[in-house]
Amino acid sequence: MAGWRDQAGQVLVYAEPLSRFGLYASLAIIYAWFGGMKFTDYEAQGLVPLVENSPLLSWFYALFSARGFSTFLGFLELSIGLLIALRLASPIFSAAGGLLSAGLFVTTLSFMISTPGVVVLELGAPAITVAPGQFLLKDVGLFAASFWVSVDSLKTVVRR
């Protein structure tokens, strides 16, 4: 039994840094992809029902067109992804990126309350639509991953 535990321990020694890298890389890739899409009219129009019903963000449409807001959001998302990827240079960058990312996902999760058509009233709670309901629900996991990245990065900064 001790031999098995030693082998499992050795596997975990390698698994932890690989899983850490995978989490940072996956968030950076998601932000690169989502951020890049924000520069398209398709994405800009897809945001309209979410943003125009949001008490937190609807005021942006008084400042920007739908396409202008989407472009602004694209730059923000690309910047967050870059900050997370910069973990390789310094954990302070990924700490900031993780915190900004967590804030962004709290904002998108608020759309579940403010966007009409998320809850399927005929089926009762907790029934939600595929779009936008289930589309937004994935942000619970992305929020958790973002917050973890921020805390993990800050732990590294504090240890130095």
Q: Which residues lie across from 128 on neighbouring strands? A: 119
**What would the pLDDT profile of 40-67 be if each residue is shown by its tens digit?**
999 999 999 999 999 999 999 999 999 9
pTM metric for this prediction: 0.91
C-alpha–C-alpha distance, residues 87 and 31, integer Å: 15
Four-point Cα dihedral 105, 109, 115, 116, nearest 10: 150
pLDDT for the residue 91? 97
The rounded average pLDDT for each run of 10 residues, N- to C-terminus, in the chain (160 residues) is: 70 89 98 98 97 97 98 98 97 98 98 92 86 94 98 93
∠ CA 28-84-95, rounded to 5°: 150
Asked whether 125 and 112 are in contact (CB, 8 A), the reply is no
Burial of residue 147 (number of CB atoms within 10 Å: 0-12, 13-18, 19+)? middle
Taking the C-alpha atoms of residue 145 and residue 84, their distance in angstroms, rounded to an integer, is: 11
